[in-house]
């Protein structure tokens, strides 16, 4: 057992991020003081997310916001309303596709590439979604890469009010290099 109740096999170890020497993109870099915050909400939870954004708007302005689908437009409108027409501060919300149209997968790819620091995903536990498998995959990738994830407003409140939200932070990550080098039964390495 390794701190926090985590169990690992012999092949997997917990470690601080180290540079990838293989020439591939290093997805395991430290979080800067300005976080890359993904905001996602299913239709029945968009109102909750927008209320949360309106409540926390001043804190969110210091971070890069990435959203799926119409959530991005709603977040942008809410922030513009809070800032007012006279503000010189520019609101930049990166908008991906709608979740069912591939936005959840785009977000998962950003997480895997180390381009998301925090995920606030207010998903609807009472309604089946046409893209439930994508939702599950997104949450799995967030856990795999140890991305702080809030699935309800209370957790989002705890996250944004944490001192870690505005300071540099190096998450402890699992080293999956042995998994990537594993032998697959029935497949021979041809050396190509």
Which residues are designated catalytic? 104
Strand 118-122 vs strand 93-95: parallel, antiparallel, or unpaired?
A: unpaired
How far apart CA 166 and CA 146 sit, in angstroms, is: 18
How far apart CA 126 and CA 91 sit, in angstroms, is: 33
How wide is the angle at C-alpha 63 spanned by C-alphas 143 and 73, nearest 5°? 90
Task: Match 């109102």 to its residue by tokens.
Answer: 47
Give the residue ranges of DSSP H helices in the chain.
46-55, 57-60, 69-83, 103-112, 132-144, 153-161, 177-180
How far apart CA 124 and CA 122 sit, in angstroms, is: 7
Three-state secondary structure call for residue 65: strand
Three-state secondary structure call for residue 11: coil
Residue 171: φ, ψ to 5°: -70, 150
């Amino acid at each position: 057992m390794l701190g926090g109740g985590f169990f690992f096999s012999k092949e997997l170890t917990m470690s601080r991020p180290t540079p990838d020497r293989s020439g591939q993109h290093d997805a395991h870099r430290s979080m800067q003081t300005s976080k890359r915050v993904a905001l996602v909400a299913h239709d029945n939870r968009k109102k909750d997310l927008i209320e949360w954004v309106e409540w926390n708007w001043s804190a969110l302005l210091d971070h890069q916001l990435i959203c799926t689908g119409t959530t991005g437009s709603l977040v942008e409108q809410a922030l513009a309303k809070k800032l007012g027409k006279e503000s010189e501060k520019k609101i930049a919300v990166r908008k991906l596709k709608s979740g069912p149209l591939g936005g959840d997968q785009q977000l998962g790819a950003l997480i895997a590439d180390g381009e998301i620091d925090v995920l606030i995903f207010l998903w609807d536990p009472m309604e089946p979604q046409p893209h439930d498998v994508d939702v599950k995959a997104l949450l799995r990738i967030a856990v795999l890469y140890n991305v702080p994830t809030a699935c309800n407003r209370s957790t989002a409140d705890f996250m944004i009010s944490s001192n870690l939200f505005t300071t540099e932070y190096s998450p402890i990550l699992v080293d999956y290099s042995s998994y990537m080098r594993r032998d697959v039964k029935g497949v021979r390495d041809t050396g190509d």
